[in-house]
Structure 1
């Protein structure tokens, strides 16, 4: 981050650890690079991965100090000399920022990770697109190679990634069965377009899923809890995509041999430039067509960013995305 005369408010992490390591400070506004876009951030999205990075429990860690946050929505403040797609004043959303992230009044983002935000979506909704929708698209399209007519089980379908996956799957013509952990979450998933929803807090919910037809694709948000069960819910040649995990798991490989199914990992940071651009283009079309519609669970004031980090991994019964209002839209 280059020195600038202008200062901004930002949360800075100088040491990996708990939420107390996130401190609100005044730091220089970053100077835009040649192929970068400087965004005036109105909303910053909060994802579980943000908490894993902050605590130092993630494979890819930024150099310290760093500003947390990967997703943002706002307006273009300035652009680098080689930027061709954006100009000052454009409404945009972003994903996959560098170490100087989006939990700040301004964020510098490489041009390929910035996308136009139509006025049909609010800045809150724009900040809910990045990680959730790019992850869901990668899981279904790049990893599962989903095609119309297949059956997909989406664990945690009421969370931000689950909502995104449900919308993408229905656009592709899949039959969607989701799980959620609250009455409100179940209603949200049904409104989003799922064909069936099961309460995963019901002790017999696995039995209920086992009664009917099995699945061609399973999107697994909590593989340390569910993966063993997933192997018995798979059709022949099915694919279980591991999106989230919070610990080790024991499975019986014979269950996988029976179906000749696959367990495939999904990590957004491994996506290529072309995959990111393909995903972004598809989502921008989806916004224009009206089927990309993020669900917002909670909006926090900027000073409450630490509480948002805590809630995103501790709240039971998710109902969409947690978003931080960095500054108010004029």
Structure 2
């Protein structure tokens, strides 16, 4: 598909503070290559990891300049050669993009694009990607959590009430602060699943020996296509039966992306998914 259309998108030309997120208004709309899909973006989820990447502190750095964003929802505009499961006009959401989601149009590989159920709107679609797939990978594929086990979702909170009982699984968002304490909270055979960290921490390894506990790291980009497909199937089942429903938090327009990054850093306890409305 040849096109001379232009689009608006956020571009990052240097790593640094949120101010490096610049709105460009004259970028060419990309063309889909083999097994790629061009999507007209309606909404894009904003994830904490995007602030780490933008600052240059993340282990994996994109080539500059780049457009942030992996979790978008929208409508298929065009498909490249070899795409079989999607067609123009499909409502979709993504778990990854090729050209970045803070934009009016984005390219994504077919295997990262999923049909958006009719009972979810575009805002909810943009809230699925990283948060839901990471949660499933952490709880099911890595922690192997079982019915009846106690799970603690641990972020930047302080004390934890466990009623004298150990916790079976801790999903840890801020391990550089909490990990040592997490090991004290675990029950025998408990698991700490590391989802987020902003620096180093010192722990006492014997704490893992006493109750034979485990520390397991999770990175969504390591998931195989089979694992991603398994996750998507489970999430769709949950959404279809109504017990899994994305909650939307603060909303920003594309030109307010820098403000959104400021807010996600300074308000880690915000309720609901932070999204850009494109």
Q: Give the TM-score band, short-chain normalised.
A: over 0.9
Distance 1:280 1:217 in 2: 22
- 1:166 is matched with none
TM-superposed CA distance for 1:282, in Å, is 1.8
1:44 has 2:44 as partner: yes
Q: Is the CA contact 1:3–1:29 (under 8 Å) kept in the aligned structure 2? A: no
Give secondary structure in 2 for the equivalent of 1:54: helix
Question: How do 1:227-246 and structure 2 match up within 5 A?
Answer: 227-246=179-198
Cα offsets for 1:183-210 (capped at 9, x unmatched): xxxxxxxxxxxxxxxxx35xxx23x33x
Question: How do 1:180-329 and structure 2 match up within 5 A?
Answer: 200-201=157-158, 205-206=159-160, 208-209=161-162, 211-326=163-278
Structure 1 residue runs without a partner (length 5+): 157-180, 182-199
TM-superposed CA distance for 1:149, in Å, is 1.5
Give secondary structure in 1 for the equivalent of 2:168: strand
Give secondary structure in 1 for the equivalent of 2:184: coil
- 1:79 is matched with 79
Q: Is the CA contact 1:10–1:105 (under 8 Å) kept in the aligned structure 2? A: yes
Distance 1:47 1:249 in 2: 23
Could you state the TM-score of these two structures normalised by the residue count of structure 2? 0.95
Distance 1:322 1:91 in 2: 21
TM-superposed CA distance for 1:18, in Å, is 1.5
Give secondary structure in 2 for the equivalent of 1:231: helix
- 1:66 is matched with 66
TM-superposed CA distance for 1:119, in Å, is 2.0
Distance 2:229 2:102 in 1: 24
Distance 2:53 2:177 in 1: 22
Q: Is the CA contact 1:6–1:28 (under 8 Å) kept in the aligned structure 2? A: yes
Q: Is the CA contact 1:73–1:91 (under 8 Å) kept in the aligned structure 2? A: yes
Distance 1:5 1:281 in 2: 37
- 1:102 is matched with 101
- 2:56 is matched with 56
Structure 2 residue runs without a partner (length 5+): none
Q: CA RMSD in A?
A: 1.6
Distance 2:254 2:65 in 1: 19
TM-superposed CA distance for 1:212, in Å, is 2.6
Could you state the TM-score of these two structures normalised by the residue count of structure 1? 0.81
Q: How many residues align?
A: 277
Distance 2:264 2:203 in 1: 28
